[in-house]
Structure 1
Amino acid sequence: MNFILNSSFTQRGFLPEPDPARRFPSDSELAVLDELGRDLPSLLQDPGCRRYLREQQIPFWPAQRNRSQDLPELQLYYLRLGFLASAYINQVGEPRATVLPANIAHPLCQACALLERPPILSYDGYALYNWKRFRPEGPIALGNIDTLQNFVHLYDEHWFILVHVEIEALAAGIFSGINRLLCEPWQDDLINPILQAIGATVWRQVTVLKRIPERMDPALYYRTFRPYIRYFKNVVYEGVKQAPMDFRGETGAQSSLMPLLVALLKIPHQRSSLTEHLADMRRYMPWKHLQVIKAVEELPELRPYAEKEIYNSVLEAVASFREFHYGLAWEYIQKRTDDPFGTGGTPYIKWLKQLIDETRAHQIS
């Protein structure tokens, strides 16, 4: 293949390079968004939060700033506005709003058009761009990272986001193997070592995912910050479009990681409303990620070249990741509600089980 994989993928997975912008310059008109972001968890404790947000003069993204070096600050701009929009619509303790005011809706839609994505806070803004390192020379890993923006003051929300950030960083180990598959001639001794390394990486990601309960209380998650990442249904973007619009909320299904592994291993998922929804989630992924996934989809099947035990171990790692995620969904959400829909607007419990079963069914018998 002639697809060239950017070196940042083999160094930090789907996370951006350089590290996300932490703040806007103090003399920039955009710096007001840093102040709003800092104050947001406290503002949301007040019933007057929506009125306060409607009164803010939120600057538009400067029209002349469309160079590649402006991307980190554009991503920060989208992150700040995405948080404000979801906070406004889904403020805990208040009836859900159905109109996003023009002072938020207009600049959010402008920024999201530049990023070629729907105008709502998604997984990229909530996790991929929402971290910093305490020690810049240290790893992108728990203990050396923190969030840039939150909805609540509880560390539980920081932990929820940061676990995902480390999992995404570990994907660099998957990309190292994929890069060889894209660039090197396929020899008999190439496939199995690559699959072994990819499987080891996924098992490391499973280990990190299992740390979620260490610092995240199920009741606090469900009651305090999960409501803010819910989907928008019948929301009018004031001054942008008169007709109400629907958008999917932040969800791990918008991560490019599992679609990448499905594309690599050619895991066949039965066509259904599930696969249609998963395909729709791609609209919420950064376009560079989609380019990589499409390139991997064009690779030949690995299965005929692989040793049974090695190939099956990778599939078992993927299934185990999904299985532990299923358990978290049950413990943190399903036990506390009769609502069958996740933050992305999908009947997640039924679908997660289907994904696990179909992954294991693809093992070599």
Structure 2
Amino acid sequence: MQLSDFDITPDRGFLCSFDAPDVVLPEAFDEIVDAGICLPDYLMTDKVRFFLDRLPEVPVAAALATMSDAEKRMAMVRYSFLVQAYVWGETEVPAALPRCLARPIWDLARALGQQPLLPYSSYVLDNWGMIEPDAGITLDNLFMIQNFLAGQDEAWFVLVHVAIEAAAGKALAEVPAMLDETMQEDGTALTASLGRIGMVWQEVNSLFDRMPEKCDPYIYFNRVRPYIHGWQDNPALPGGLIYDGVGDTEGKPVAFRGQTGSQSSIVPLMDALLGLTHEQDPLRRYLDELHIYRPPAHRRFIDAVRERSAVRATVQASGPGEMRDAYNHIVEQIAAFRTRHLEYAASYINKQSKGGAGNDTEVGTGGTPFMRYLKKHRDESRAQLIA
């Protein structure tokens, strides 16, 4: 197993391996790119649909044959933001997407193996650049390429996730060898790998702790969160959304889940590696459903690790000692991450005043009653420490 087979690198983890700001889309996309750049200005007018309805219908299906993977992904970044702005950028929620947006994003999503709205990959993984390319992926050296309203809080929210994804790359780099180490019963090497992953998780949690520095809960809830909702289990779009001109839907509304950090592959991968499981409940079923919203290569990696990993059984058989301590340290760090997630969910969402259409304080951007289950999943993680 090699990370490169799954579009993963040790220095970037699940982040795009190409330099996104350097990707130039074909000329046919010029007006789409311009609309993305102008999107914060359009949204300020409260008539964003007036501008987006006038966009040309780019023949994406024909263009795909000559587009690189990076070009397809950057086109998806632009279109997915425009689609979300069209749906949530005005007080009244539309029943349909115009074909100038619907057909291109449908074709791009199908080509990329994803869903035709804003996914985590377009919001975070492919939507960043470095101010100084040689200075590394650090929070003081990142910028967001495409945004909605723009501003510090929106960028910080996304870029903290970018920094976390990059830090996690060092943990992902340990995985192929760990699978071999369990097969070869190399306890010394496995213990060392677990120790290094534990150190990575400490770094991840330190980065996650920085979210409040430049992302205020009120600003997040009212000016960042409204645009990233989906249309499945969303009372503002009870029947879903019509994708005008898309033959696959036969003119009927369809529903997809909104962008959420739960679409990140880091925690599911760690659960698969460590053999951590969760009882069946609505959130567990929802998280399982989110698997199809991840990039296909990352899905394959999680599935392959889940199938092959014998880490937990190896640690259980090892008895008390350094290996077990290193394993439990990671589990504690994952539980701490989930605790912080729970705290942020309370302060950034649940405690805010009721939002506008589709922006419910009781329902996550993916469409679930998140508060009810986050604590349960945190507690289940801790319950799987090996005594």
Q: TM-score, normalised to structure 1's length? A: 0.94
Asked if 1:348 is matched to 2:357, the reply is: no
Which of 300, 311, 325 is residue 327 of structure 2 equivalent to? 311
Is residue 2:89 matched to residue 1:91? yes
In the alignment, is the contact (CA less than 8 A) between 1:29 and 1:59 conserved in 2? yes
Alpha-carbon distance between aligned partners in 2 of 1:196 and 1:299, rounded to the nearest angstrom: 20
For 1:51, the equivalent position in structure 2 comes to 50
Partner of 1:230: 229
Count residues in correspondence. Answer: 360
Q: Name 2:106's counterpart in structure 1.
A: 109
Is residue 245 of structure 2 the alignment partner of residue 239 of structure 1? yes
For residues 35-89 of structure 1, what are the alpha-carbon distances to aligned partners after superposition, in whole Å with 9 as ceiling and x for unaligned?
111100110111322122111114232635446x711111110110000000000
Q: CA RMSD in A?
A: 1.7
Alpha-carbon contact 2:179-2:310 (below 8 Å) kept: no
CA distance in 1 between counterparts of 2:278 and 2:124 reads: 27
| 8 A Cα contact 1:248 1:344, kept in partner | yes
Tell me the distance in 2 between the aligned counterparts of 1:66 and 1:351.
Answer: 44
* 8 Å Cα contact 2:31-2:55 kept in structure 1: no
SS in 2 for 1:341: coil
Q: Is 2:14 the counterpart of 1:10?
A: no
Could you say which residue in structure 1 is the equivalent of 2:318?
none
CA contact (8 A) 2:57 2:99 kept: no
For residues 334 and 259 of structure 1, the distance between their equivalents in structure 2, rounded to whole angstroms, comes to: 24
Q: Give 1:358's aligned residue.
A: 380
Q: Give the drift of 1:23.
A: 5.1
- Stretches of structure 2 that go unaligned for 5 or more consecutive residues are 232-236, 316-322, 355-359
Instruction: Please say if residues 274 and 309 of structure 2, whose CA atoms lie closer than 8 Å, have aligned partners that are also in contact.
Output: no
- Aligned residue number for residue 100 of structure 1: 97
Structure 1 vs Structure 2: percent identity of aligned residues?
A: 33
User: Which residue identity lines up with residue 362 of structure 2 in the other structure?
Assistant: P
User: What letter corresponds to residue 312 of structure 1 in structure 2?
Assistant: N
Which aligned pairs between 1:208-219 and structure 2 lie closer than 5 A? 208-219=207-218
Q: Which residue of 1 aligns with 2:175?
A: 178
| Runs of 4+ deviating beyond 6 Å | none
Contact 1:191 / 1:305 at 8 angstroms: preserved in 2?
no
| Contact in 1 for aligned 2:283/2:370 (Cα 8 Å) | no
Shift of 1:21: 4.4
Which TM-score applies when normalising by structure 2?
0.89
Is residue 33–residue 58 contact of structure 1 (8 Å, CA) maintained in 2? no
Question: Could you report, residue by residue, the CA deviation over 1:247-272 in whole angstroms, capped at 9, with x for unpaired residues?
Answer: 11110111111100110111120022
Checking the alignment, whether the CA contact within 8 Å between 1:21 and 1:76 is kept in structure 2 is: no
The answer to whether the Cα contact below 8 Å between 2:272 and 2:309 also exists between their aligned partners in 1 is no
The alpha-carbon distance between structure 1 residues 22 and 55, as it changes in their structure 2 partners (threshold 3 A), is same
The 5-angstrom pairing of residues 1-365 of structure 1 reads 3-6=1-4, 8-22=8-22, 24=24, 28-61=27-60, 63=62, 65-66=64-65, 70-92=68-90, 94-183=91-180, 185-232=184-231, 233=237, 234-240=240-246, 241=249, 242-306=251-315, 307-336=323-352, 337=354, 339-365=361-387
Output the CA distance in 2 between the equivalents of 1:186 and 1:164. Answer: 35
Contact 1:249 1:345 in 2 (8 A): yes
Q: Does the aligned pair in 2 maintain the 1:82–1:125 contact within 8 Å?
A: yes
